[in-house]
Copies of this chain bind each other. A is one copy, B any other.
């Protein structure tokens, strides 16, 4: 438990919502009131836990716990789903002797089914008993759905006033695209910090990490990132410089977790690091990067280890980003492969193809039209993705 920040406890139990022989009900508990910040899906259909967590975040400034289940999303379940969600918080609040408004809920899994409330009432007491006996890996395992491995990331930081610690965990493998990526992430820290600054640092950290990855271009109904800071270290940033240091640690954790999510993409075998430079502005750079990263044809070529630059160029060309086709330069796996409207004169299959066997593949695109840049992490697309998703529910 050495990676868990001070005065936080984790708990995880097997409730059997959907999965067997693994935890699927997780509690993050702070022994003292914590600041909380949250970022949620932009999907119009927001799951019940997303609605409740947003409301709680708006009406309280101190929080004690995050309650998470995997296997059922409690999305598109109407008013009954909202009632169910509130019911689980009330049960947990009674057991923990805190108020329900101090708990933030999160769910992930299949859309549309009602929560089995009798399971919750049976399992929550066991979850309370497990508090303090669950490690971070085990808790991260408890929030997985189609993930193949649990995702955690931790940092320690020395500030003037003392040492602070961060622990993050995330889940996500499919339905991954930003605003938000389809995922849950939880970050806890014992840093002493104001709620406003904590929120500000989280928003910044998420922009270039969780919001800059894509697996399949789909955005879920349940995404959220929740961050708790309970001040137990009695150390906080004492200067603008230390604030930035804390912000960087938070961003490091988010980037690390975001990278792990793309590594664990459903059926994924490779991670494209798509770097667009020379766009008119950042928005256009992002548009171009996403056209490439979400192209099924580019993704399948990556899966096949095929340096098929034509598909990358075609995706850029339809992206709606504004540039002169003759001004574009494209490098693949470290080799400039296209510029001036035509391919480089080399034996692509001999020079570039070997580098396509790596797990991490750099795709560098200079649009030659300005100063805008953007970096996107994207997975490839394999037969395994189809197998996973063609029989996920039925």
Q: Which residues of A contact B (CB under 8 A)?
A: 42-45, 73, 75-78, 80-81, 110-112, 174-175, 177, 179, 216-221, 294-297, 300-301, 303-306, 308-311, 313-318, 323, 325, 338, 340-343, 349, 353, 381-383, 385-387, 389-394
Contacts and interface: CB of A to CB of B under 8 A. Distances in A.
Residue among A44, A301, A391 having the largest count of chain B Cβ atoms under 10 Å: A44
B112 A310 contact: yes
B314 A175 contact: yes
Given A111-B314, A381-B386, A385-B386, 4 more contacts: A81-B342, A217-B294, A303-B390, A305-B394
7 contacts: A111-B310, A112-B309, A217-B295, A300-B389, A304-B391, A310-B393, A353-B394
Contact of A111 (B81, B294, B303, B311): B311
A174 B300 CA distance: 12
Contacts of A112: 309-310, 342-343
B389 A111 contact: no
How many copies of the polypeptide does the oligomer hold? 2
B392 A318 contact: no
A383 B388 CA distance: 11
Contacts of A382: 386, 390
Q: Name the prevailing secondary structure of the A interface residues.
A: loop
B389 A304 contact: yes
B45 A313 contact: yes
Given A77-B342, A393-B308, A317 B45 contact: yes
A216 B296 contact: yes
Contacts of A386: 300, 303, 381-383, 385-386
Contacts of A43: 314, 317-318
A331 B211 CA distance: 32
A390 B76 contact: no
A316 B175 contact: no
Given A111-B310, A314-B43, A392-B308, A300 B385 contact: yes
Contacts of A76: 310, 313, 338, 341-343
Contact of A310 (B75, B305, B310, B315): B75
B342 A297 contact: no
Contacts of A325: 44-45
CB-CB nearest 6 A-B residue pairs: A111-B310, A304-B390, A78-B342, A300-B389, A45-B317, A219-B318
Contacts of A314: 43, 45, 75, 111, 175, 218-221
Contacts of A77: 342
Contacts of A177: 318
Nearest to A219: B318
A217 B308 CA distance: 18
Nearest to A349: B394
A284 to B, nearest CB: 12
A80 B219 CA distance: 43
Nearest to A110: B310
A295 B175 CA distance: 9
Contacts of A338: 76
A319 to B, nearest CB: 8
Residue among A42, A78, A394 having the largest count of chain B Cβ atoms under 10 Å: A394
